[in-house]
Amino acid sequence: RQGAKEAVESETEFATHSEDGGRYTIAMKIPGVPEEPAQAWWTGFGPELTDFTMTLDARVVNQVDAGFSVFFRHVDNDNTYVLAVDGKDAQVLLMKRVNGEVAGNTGWQPSSAVDAKGGVNRVVIRCFEDQIRVNVNGEDVFEMRDGAFRKGRIGIGTIAFGPPPVISFDNIIITTPSEG
């Protein structure tokens, strides 16, 4: 179904960002290498959120060595939580950046939950107070408590470990608890 029209459609030296039929696509223009992946992202979804549940579907369209990222409780590029999903090697990573430095990083963790064959990966991120839970395709992959950032925006991105990827994001739904 047709979604909100807040998505930025633009072209930069790194990627083309476009929306069509409710699907948001980031087509990278530059390659990366495993030791130094290239990235492109957009961190402008909606207002600042505290407690929320976010669901999204992501797919590496051109099936290259790539993945995607989800930024949450994103204060700015130097202060954020980031979930990364490697769509080729079936791995996940959760990290926190504080004042531009990595302050927490799980490292890449293999996960049989990740579809590494070019299919859709459904990600659900739940943040409530200091609790963070990340689920990929119905399987919890991270659960932790961390209160460094209690509010921020949402963002999505691409990660290139090889040729430039095209990543499609769809069915992005963000809900917040009711007051009362």
The model's pLDDT over 43-87, given as tens digits with 9 standing for 90+, comes to 876 788 999 999 999 999 999 999 999 999 999 999 999 999 999
Instruction: Say if residue 174 is exposed, middle or buried (CB neighbours under 10 Å; 0-12, 13-18, 19+).
Output: middle
Contacts 24+ apart (CB under 8 A), 15-21: 15/40, 15/158, 17/42
pTM: 0.92
- Looking at residue 179, what is its pLDDT? 56
Task: Determine the Cα–Cα distance for residues 126 and 8; give it in Å rounded to an integer.
Answer: 24
At 89-137, the pLDDT tens digits run 999 999 999 999 999 999 999 999 999 999 999 999 999 999 999 999 9
Of the candidates 74, 77, 28, 27, which has an alpha carbon nearest to the alpha carbon of residue 54? 74
To which residue do tokens 């797919």 refer? 59
Q: Helix, strand, coil proportions of the chain in percent (round to 5)?
A: 0, 60, 40
At 145-161, the pLDDT tens digits run 998 999 999 999 999 99
- Please, which residues have CB within 8 angstroms of residue 179's CB and are 6 or more apart in sequence? none
Which structure tokens are listed for 96? 């926190």
What's the distance, CA 157 to chain centroid? Answer: 6
